[in-house]
Structure 1
Amino acid sequence: MTDFANYNKRILLVEDDIELASLIEDFLSRYGFEVNTVNNGTDAVRQVAELHPDLVILDVMLPGMNGMEVCKTIRAFYSGYILMQTALDDDVDQMKGLEIGADDYVIKQVKPHLLLSRIYALLRRSERKLSHANATEGTGAPAANTSFFSNTLVCGPLTVDVSNRSVVLNQVPVETTTAEFELLVLLASTVGQVVSRDEILQKIRGFEYDGLDRSIDRRISRLRQKLVLEDGKELIKTVRGIGYQLCVYTD
C-alpha cells in the first residue's frame, strides 16, 4: 500500500462522535498522517482556513452547521480534497455532496483500511497531477489539438490553467468544483479522443468502473452544462457505449 508518511500529509477530521473520531485519528496517525480533529461544522470552516489541510474527512451529520453546509462554504476558498462520510446509503445525499464539491464519499461505519484506501486514492491524484505537469513541461509534445503553456491547456476557446485551477471559456471565467476541474483536465489533455468511464475512474478515483457507479455521469452532466458555446454547441460529447470526448470547434 502507498506510503504518504514522507509527504507530511495533513488531514482534518470533522466528526462529532468523540469515540469514533479518536479511533480514526489513532488509526491514521499510525500511517504517518498528521490528523487534526474538530467536532462541529463552525470549527471545521475555521480550521480549514487556518490549516489548509491536504484532505478533509467530513461527516454529514454535525451539530450547528451540517456537513453539506460546511462543504459548500469551504469550497469557496479550499481547493484540497473532501471525503464525506454519511450514515445513510442514500443516493440523494451522495449526489448532493458531489454536486457541492465533495470528491468522494464513504458509508459509516467504514472499515478502517477501506477508509485508508479511499484517502490514498484521493491523494494519488495530486501525485499524478504533479508528475504529469513535470513530464509535459518543456517536452514540446502536447496532446493532439492541445497547447501547453506553463501547465495551461488551451483547447480552442477553452483555457484550463492547471497551476491556478482556473477555467476560461471565450474569455469568461467558469466556476468548477475540484472534482469537475480534475475531470476537465483529463478530458482537455486528451482533447478529441474518447475517454471511457473505466479510464476516468482509474485515473481520477483509483478503481475500475463496476457498471453501477454513476458519479462520473453526474459530473459530466454538470460540467457539460457549464461548457456551452454561444451558438449552443456543447464542448463535451457522449459517445454512446464508449465514453466521453472534449471537442474543439474550428468554425
Structure 2
Amino acid sequence: MKDNNWILIVDDDADLANLVADFLEMNGYKTEIEHNGAKAVERIIAEQPMLVILDVMLPDMDGLSICRAVRHGHPGIEGSYNGPILMLTALNNDIDEVAGLETGADDYLAKPVRSRVLLARVRALLRRKPEPPVTEKLSKLHSNNESLIEFDGLSIDKKYQRIQQHGQDIELTTAEFELLWLLASRPGEICDRDSISDYFSDLGYESSHRTIDLRVSRIRRKLGDDPSHATRIKTIHGKGYLFVGD
C-alpha cells in the first residue's frame, strides 16, 4: 500500500504547481501534482495524502466542488478525506475564503503566495495532531509557559497547536487557532475587528470583518459556546470580541 507521507498539489497551472512542489521538496516534503480536478477527487480519497494544496480556479471541476466532494462524499467513490486542505485563490475578495471555509477547507491563502508564508501554513497544518509529552499536566489555571494558556478546563497550547477542553481535543483550523489564541491572550480586553484584521495580515492572511465573524462562530460551535448566550467569547456590539477568562 502506498504511504501517505506526501503532499498533493492540485493546480492546472503547471509552472506554479512545479514551483510550489520544488519549494516544498527543498524544505523536506515529498510532493505530487494533479492538474485534473475530477481525477483529484479520486486520488485524494483513494490515496489519502497527508495534506492537499488546492487551487480554487480549475477548468473542469473547481476547488470548492472538489473540497465539498472529498469532505462529504462523491457519487461513485467510496470514502472521504479528513486530512488538512489548504486552498489557494487568485481572487482578491473574501467570498471564496468564506465559501472555502464553509465547504471544509482548513486554511486559505490568496495569490500571489509568498513562499515562506505557504511553508509556515503547511507546517502549522501538519503539526495539528502531535502527541505532547506524556508527563504534560494541564492543571494550573494559567500557566507561566508563554506558549500555553489555560482557563477553567480550556487549554490552548501554541507550541503543539493543540486545544483541549475538559481533557477532550478540540479540532480547529490554523486560522481559528490563531484567532482563539489572540483573544485568549487578552482576557477581559475588547479586540476590535480592525485590530484582528491587522493581526492576520501580519500572518499573511487576507482577512475581512465577515471572515472574522465566521471564524468566531465556528470556534464557538466547536467549544460548545452558545452564540445567543456566549460565555467564553462575547460579542461587544459596535466594538468587537471579548474573551472571558475564569
Contact 1:79 1:178 in 2 (8 A): no
What is the distance in 2 between the residues matched to 1:153 and 1:190?
16
Aligned to 1:237: 234
Aligned to 1:80: 83
Aligned to 1:105: 109
Contact 1:55 1:81 in 2 (8 A): yes
What is the distance in 2 between the residues matched to 1:185 and 1:121?
17
The 1:145–1:125 alpha-carbon spacing in structure 2 relative to 1, beyond 3 Å, is: same
Aligned to 1:24: 20
Q: Does 1:62 align with 2:62?
A: no
| Superposed displacement of residue 199, structure 1 | 7.9
Q: Does 1:141 align with 2:140?
A: yes
Number of residue pairs matched by the alignment: 215
- Which stretch shows the higher mean deviation, 189-198 or 89-98? 189-198
Q: Does 1:217 align with 2:224?
A: no
Q: Does 1:41 align with 2:53?
A: no
TM-score, with length taken from structure 2: 0.63
What is the distance in 2 between the residues matched to 1:30 and 1:208?
21
**Share of identical aligned residues, percent?**
31
Match of residue 169, structure 2, among 142, 158, 161: 161
| Superposed displacement of residue 123, structure 1 | 1.8
Query: What is the Cα-based RMSD across aligned positions, in Å?
Result: 4.4
| Superposed displacement of residue 11, structure 1 | 1.6
What is the distance in 2 between the residues matched to 1:9 and 1:81?
13
The 1:90–1:139 alpha-carbon spacing in structure 2 relative to 1, beyond 3 Å, is: closer
| Offset from partner CA, 1:78-99 (integer Å, 9 cap, x none) | 3433222223223222221122
Alignment of 1:122-201 (within 5 A): 122-124=122-124, 126-127=126-127, 130=130, 133-134=132-133, 137-141=136-140, 143-146=150-153, 152-154=164-166, 160-162=168-170, 165=171, 178=173, 182=177, 186=181, 196=191
What is the distance in 2 between the residues matched to 1:139 and 1:228?
21
Aligned to 2:75: none
The 1:161–1:23 alpha-carbon spacing in structure 2 relative to 1, beyond 3 Å, is: closer
Aligned to 2:77: none
In the alignment, structure 1 segments of 5+ residues that lack a partner are: 1-7, 166-176
The 1:31–1:221 alpha-carbon spacing in structure 2 relative to 1, beyond 3 Å, is: same
What is the distance in 2 between the residues matched to 1:37 and 1:26?
11
| Superposed displacement of residue 50, structure 1 | 3.4
| Superposed displacement of residue 246, structure 1 | 5.7
| Superposed displacement of residue 56, structure 1 | 1.5
| Superposed displacement of residue 119, structure 1 | 3.0
| Superposed displacement of residue 72, structure 1 | 1.8
